[in-house]
Amino acid sequence: MGAIELQLLDVAERVATETAELVRSVRESMIEGHGVEVSTKTSDTDVVTAADQQAERLVRGRLAELRPDEPVLGEEQGGQTGTGVRWVVDPIDGTVNFLYGFPWFAVSLAAQVDGVSVAGAVVEPISGRRWTAARGHGAWLDGRPLRAGEPSRLDHALLITGFAYFPQRRQRQAAMVGRLLGRVRDIRRSGSASLDLCAVAAGWADGYLEHGLHRWDWAAGALMATEAGALVNLPGEHAELGEDAILAAAPTIHAELHAAAVQSGIADV
């Protein structure tokens, strides 16, 4: 594909940055007491805000201008399948964090070709940090190259995970994480899959695993991790991890983490 990845990356970064500015302004208006409309999705604790919907409309509108006739798959408005370039957007990845003012949330936008991510941008509205990647070209944080960590052993590794919004599944996930916890340095849970994958890309964490993600949750972040040298197992690729689990890790501990996750019952969650 050559330079097309960088062309798509330019669009992804531009649109994600514009959308992050919108999200930041909405968050500031909430602080000033104007509030935000909130509804629920899969459960009473899985929320969507008017800001999510407004942000996705902006993404779709800008992509229609910059990349006309290319389909968009988004968390709030769904989308189309097909061959060629398709854009995958999570307008606010980490909506609960956004709602509470916890600053770990982002706009995530990826370009996929025949279902494979080739360019992506994850932009944080509060800090302004821009995580970017293009397949075969590398990954960057604000223009600085990223490289995954190199922990020597699993028990020296810091992991990140996430939990589903269904109480019964959360309990099964907690049990699995409990079994894994004694085999690693420590485990974090931050609430934004795209940023968790970016953290692996930066070496801020050594591994990440989670169940139940949708394509828009990982499309950009998984590319960041891969281009930074991490090894990534996407949902559905490895039956022993379960049909909807994702696992990303520094290459020095990937095999060990993969085995430990299987032994801890990841496929039964």
pLDDT of 75 reads: 77
pLDDT of 46 reads: 43
Mean pLDDT of 123-132: 98
Give the three-class secondary structure for 198.
Answer: helix
Please give, one letter per residue, the 3-state secondary structure of 1-17.
CCCHHHHHHHHHHHHHH
Helix (H) or strand (E) holding 219: helix 215-227
Q: What are 142-189's pLDDT values in tens digits?
A: 999 999 999 999 999 999 999 988 899 999 999 999 999 999 999 999
Q: What are 16-72's pLDDT values in tens digits?
A: 999 999 999 999 987 765 555 555 455 444 445 788 899 999 999 999 999 999 999
Q: Are strands 186-189 and 231-233 parallel, antiparallel or unpaired?
A: unpaired
**Residue with the larger pLDDT of the pair 51 and 135:** 135
Q: What are 65-108's pLDDT values in tens digits?
A: 999 999 999 976 667 666 699 999 999 999 999 999 999 999 99
Give Cβ neighbours of residue 144 (< 8 Å, ≥ 6 apart): none
Domains of the chain with bracketed CATH: 4-145 (3.30.540.10), 154-268 (3.40.190.80)
Q: What are 212-254's pLDDT values in tens digits?
A: 999 999 999 999 999 999 999 999 998 999 999 999 999 999 9
pLDDT of 29 reads: 85
Q: How far is CA 209 from the centre of its chain?
A: 11
247 backbone dihedrals φ, ψ, rounded to 5°: -140, 125
Q: Are strands 106-113 and 72-74 parallel, antiparallel or unpaired?
A: unpaired
Q: Which two tokens stand for residue 246?
A: 């994702």
Q: What's the predicted TM-score (pTM) here?
A: 0.93
User: d(Cα 246, Cα 212) in Å, to the nearest integer?
Assistant: 9
Residue type at position 259? A
pLDDT of 32 reads: 64
Is residue 205 a contact partner of residue 160, using CB atoms and an 8 Å limit?
yes
Burial class of residue 114 in the structure, from the number of CB atoms within 10 Å of its CB (0-12 exposed, 13-18 middle, 19+ buried): exposed
